[in-house]
Structure formats: structure tokens, C-alpha cells
Amino acid sequence: MGADNESRGALVVFEGLDRSGKTSQCGRLVSYLEGLGHSVELWRFPDRTTSVGQMISAYLTNNSQLDDRTIHLLFSANRWEKRSLMETKLKAGTTLIVDRYSYSGVAFSSAKGLDFEWCKAPEIGLIAPDLVVYLDIVPEKAAERGGYGGERYEQLEFQRKVAQRYKLLEDSSWKIVDACQPLEDVEKQVKEIVLEHVMTCQRGKPVSSLWS
Ligand code: Z5A
């Protein structure tokens, strides 16, 4: 996809267990990049605003029951329905800071017992992130933070399995940040790592496809 080396925005994905601090860091990062004059948008998956996203939301809040494979494919469809807009934005020079992506899809569904490669398959061909910031925290520590336990997957034993699956997905696009540090220390590291990648994409880097 896209052999052109034109200036573009960066696709930066945040991953990690529940309450690892993704939402906090994404918000701070967007303000920081905006302050530097970059065109930047905050995205999150699931995107609960679409009709597919509303089905996912009902499932996560225990207001509907769905077969494990069905919900997995809905999470994936929710990314596919945003794929072309994502490419347009990136090529127009907008950096996208994305709270969860395909790695969550595979880690959570395979932690339920679905086949790992089967879980990856529907994600193949989505846009590959330029950077994945993995906020690393042990589940016990995350559980001490506010609001834990409200949604379907927020149970300690399950989160341990999710952490194991995440480890299998790590590749050269990943940067692991210790999320147990104070929020401001995490923020400082995140800003440095992300800015470097934003500049690289501005200088020109082809958009590539995930896992293909
Ligand atoms: N899921 C899936 O199965 N398949 C998929 O394809 C996708 C997702 C995309 C919804 O995710 C669920 O969907 C999720 C995965 C699954 N599983 N669950 N449950 P979500 O993103 O909507 O919800 P979430 O993961 O639970 O995210 P969260 O609640 O937004 O947590 P967070 O963003 O990582 O953390 P936070 O909101 O920034 O911080 C949590 C608290 O910790 C808050 O009180 C902060 O002030 C505090 N905090 C943050 N950083 C620190 C530090 N450094 N020190 C101390 N306290 C901190």
C-alpha cells in the first residue's frame, strides 16, 4: 500500500490492560501535540458511536449476549468501518492518537480461548500503526485504580491472561512504558517517544498494512 514517501500524519496506538492509563495519556498527548501546532485527533476503539459500536457497547455493559466469535468480528468490523477515513486523515497530515486497536482485539478474544491466528485473521490489511505504546502494568496494580470492575472483562484472572496474549503480539513497532510510574513521569516518556515518530512520518514514510 502507498509506495509514496510523502509527508503524512502518524498512526500512534495505545495498548495495555484496563486502567493502565491509556485514556489519561492519550488526552494529555493530544493537548501537547496541538500545542506544538500539529494537526492531531484522538480516536478510540471500540468506537461506540457507530451502529456496530453500539452493539459492542451493549455487550460490554452486559446488556446483550453474543457468541465469542461474533463479538470478535464486530470489534474488527468496527475498525474496518473507520479504515478508509483513517487513511484519508493520515495522508492529509493529521496524526491519529488511537486508544486501543487490533492488539486489544486479539489479546482479549484469544484470552477467552479463541485460536490466536484465527483472531488475527480479520485484522490483516488494516493500517499498521507507526508506533504502539504499550502501557505496562501488572493486573493487581491496575485493579487498585479507580473504576475497575464495572464492565465485562474487568476481572483479575482474565486480565492476567490478556497480559500473556499481549506479550505474543509485541513487534518492532512497540515501545513498552512502565505504567506504574507516576502519571507525569509516564507522560514525559510518552511525549518523547511519540514526537520522534510524528517527525519521522512528517519527513515521509509509506503507509503499510497490518500483519500482511
Ligand atoms: N476490547 C476487545 O475485547 N476487543 C477490541 O478489539 C477492543 C477492545 C478494541 C473496552 O475498552 C473493552 O473492550 C476493553 C477491551 C475490549 N476491556 N475491558 N474491560 P475501553 O477502552 O472502553 O475501556 P478500558 O480498557 O477499561 O479503558 P479505560 O477504563 O479507559 O482505562 P485506561 O484508559 O487504560 O485508564 P485511564 O482511564 O487513563 O485511567 C484509569 C484510572 O487510573 C484513572 O482513575 C486515572 O486517573 C488513574 N491513573 C492513570 N494513570 C495513572 C498513573 N500513572 N498512576 C496512578 N493512577 C493512574
- What ipTM did this prediction achieve? 0.97
Domains of the chain by residue range: 11-203
Rounded distance, CA 15 to CA 78, Å?
Answer: 17
* Ligand 1, atom 50, residue with closest C-alpha: 21
Sites in the chain below the pLDDT cut of 50? 2-3
Q: Say how many Å lie between the CA of residue 143 and the centre of ligand 1.
A: 11
Angle at 93 between CA 134 and CA 203, to 5 degrees: 80
Q: Are 8 and 75 in contact (CB under 8 A)?
A: no
Please tell me the predicted confidence (pLDDT) of residue 78: 99
Please tell me the predicted confidence (pLDDT) of residue 65: 95
Q: Greatest CA span in the chain, whole angstroms?
A: 47
CATH classification code of 11-203? 3.40.50.300
The DSSP letter of residue 150 is S
Please tell me the predicted confidence (pLDDT) of residue 76: 99
Please tell me the predicted confidence (pLDDT) of residue 149: 62
Please tell me the predicted confidence (pLDDT) of residue 106: 99
The HSE-up count of residue 14 (CA atoms within 13 Å, CB side) is: 32
Residues 60-89 pLDDT 10s: 999 999 999 999 999 999 999 999 999 999
**What is the CB < 6 Å shell around ligand 1?**
16, 18-24, 45-46, 60, 75, 99-100, 104-105, 108, 145-146, 151, 153-154, 179, 182-183, 186
- Percentage of the chain beyond pLDDT 70 is 97
The DSSP letter of residue 101 is -
Please tell me the predicted confidence (pLDDT) of residue 1: 55
Please tell me the predicted confidence (pLDDT) of residue 209: 98
* Ligand 1, atom 39, residue with closest C-alpha: 21
